[in-house]
């Protein structure tokens, strides 16, 4: 199914965007108006669709820049919902909370969904679709939310907005536990990361296709979008083999991925625009820090050098 037509969206490249630079992080110092403007000018050469992760101050500023500067972007706006249940299966032990905290989290999540609704309606000329959460149902998450609660959030968002509504999740839960959710979303959003599952670059695209079609064939009447797919460029060996990640492999995966999704008209948000040093551990080789097509100083990695010659001149 052509996901662009099914969702009423103009065809164009899509990318996940979070603009936190060195010394910045969620809940702390956030990128300035001018820094976000610089980022969006860089991205404007090759991407039309942006995915944001949260209704936070950073997202508010991104919407402000797009609106005031009259930039030609369409945004997937998201709410980031936090744990409403403890998850003792979280590998890093971060998924267990007191009942008091979980009760507070439910209130926080409801407020986040309301903010998602309000911002979507305010920026209805920019926001093209919305997500009520991110990786909150997969077995290893540290912010577990019961499926029935996510269903409620989808129904609430659909009732009060006029754009397509989804939930972003790893491909595996869509094959089983998220079937009730698949019945209410306007489209299904999957994440696929061959390199996190120890796949070699030469089997990566085939694995991504297997992930995607396993979900798409299960729900033939519902559009399926890829909201995260990418390749890291560094690793300390934790979760990703060091020999599998470098700029050459990132370019190979990106080129193969884009050839496939463009031919099949699959809306695919590449993960991600820029490296972010705040992510993960303090280890500078932590793979979470190295998924960007551009480095933290906004210079392009190998994959981005050929996307447009103007990019090289736009980076200060």
**Residue 199: band (very low, low, confident or very high) from pLDDT cuts 50, 70, 90:** very high
Residue carrying structure tokens 């001149």: 313
The pLDDT of residue 308 is: 59
The pLDDT of residue 148 is: 98
Decide: residue 218, CB within 10 A, 0-12 exposed, 13-18 middle, 19+ buried. Answer: middle
Q: What is the spatial distance between Cα 275 and Cα 293, in angstroms, rounded to a whole number?
A: 7
**Average per-residue pLDDT for the chain:** 95
Evaluate if residue 311 carries a pLDDT over 80: no
Query: Which residues sit opposite 190 in a β-bridge?
Result: 169, 226
Q: What is the pLDDT of residues 156-166, one digit of tens each?
A: 999 999 999 99
The pLDDT of residue 262 is: 96
pLDDT > 70 fraction of the chain, expressed in percent and rounded: 97
The pLDDT of residue 312 is: 46
* 9, 68, 144, 151 from 99: Cα distances, Å: 42, 43, 13, 22
Q: What is the pLDDT of residues 264-277, one digit of tens each?
A: 999 999 999 999 99
Evaluate if residue 133 carries a pLDDT over 80: yes
Q: What is the spatial distance between Cα 198 and Cα 94, in angstroms, rounded to a whole number?
A: 23
The pLDDT of residue 315 is: 47
Residue carrying structure tokens 């309000």: 118
The pLDDT of residue 85 is: 98
Six-digit token pair at 50? 């942006």
Q: What is the pLDDT of residues 69-94, one digit of tens each?
A: 999 999 999 999 999 999 999 999 89
Q: What is the pLDDT of residues 22-43, one digit of tens each?
A: 999 999 999 999 999 999 999 9
Evaluate if residue 310 carries a pLDDT over 60: no
Write phi, then psi, for 155 (nearest 5 degrees): -60, -40
The pLDDT of residue 238 is: 86
Q: Going by C-beta distance under 8 Å and a sequence separation of 6 or more, which residues neighbour residue 7?
A: 128, 129, 164, 186, 187, 223, 225, 267
Evaluate if residue 302 carries a pLDDT over 50: yes
Note whether 204 and 195 are within 8 A (CB). yes
Average pLDDT for 168-195 = 98
The pLDDT of residue 259 is: 98
Average pLDDT for 41-51 = 97
Evaluate if residue 309 carries a pLDDT over 60: no
Q: Given 1.20.58.340, 3.20.20.70, 3.20.20.80, 3.40.50.2300, which CATH number is that of 12-75+187-314?
A: 3.20.20.80
């Amino acid at each position: 199914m052509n996901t662009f037509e099914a969702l009423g969206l103009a065809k164009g490249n899509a990318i996940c965007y979070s603009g936190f630079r060195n010394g910045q992080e969620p809940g702390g110092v956030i990128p300035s108006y001018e820094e976000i403007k610089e980022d969006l000018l860089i991205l404007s050469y090759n991407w039309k669709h942006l995915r944001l992760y949260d209704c936070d101050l950073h997202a508010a500023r991104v919407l402000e820049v797009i609106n005031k500067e009259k930039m030609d972007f369409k945004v997937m706006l998201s709410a980031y919902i936090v744990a409403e249940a403890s998850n003792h299966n979280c590998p890093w032990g971060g998924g267990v909370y007191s009942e008091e905290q979980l009760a507070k989290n439910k209130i926080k999540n409801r407020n986040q969904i309301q903010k998602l609704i309000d911002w979507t309606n305010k920026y209805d000329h920019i926001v093209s679709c919305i997500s009520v959460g991110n990786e909150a149902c997969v077995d290893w998450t540290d912010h577990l939310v019961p499926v029935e609660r996510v269903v409620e959030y989808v129904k609430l968002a659909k009732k009060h907005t006029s754009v397509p509504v989804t939930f972003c999740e790893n491909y595996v839960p869509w094959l089983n536990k998220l079937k009730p959710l698949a019945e209410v979303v306007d489209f299904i959003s999957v994440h696929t990361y061959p390199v996190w599952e120890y796949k070699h670059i030469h089997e990566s695209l085939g694995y991504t296709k297997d992930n995607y079609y396993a979900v798409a064939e299960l729900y033939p009447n519902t559009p399926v979008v890829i909201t995260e797919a990418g390749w890291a460029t560094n690793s300390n060996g934790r979760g990703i083999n060091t020999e599998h990640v470098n700029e050459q492999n990132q370019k190979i995966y990106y080129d193969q991925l884009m050839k496939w999704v463009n031919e099949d008209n699959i809306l695919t948000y590449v993960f991600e625009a820029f490296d972010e040093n705040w992510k993960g551990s303090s280890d500078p080789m932590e793979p979470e820090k190295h998924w960007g097509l551009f480095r933290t100083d906004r210079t392009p990695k190998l994959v981005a050098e050929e996307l447009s010659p103007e990019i090289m001149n736009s980076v200060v």
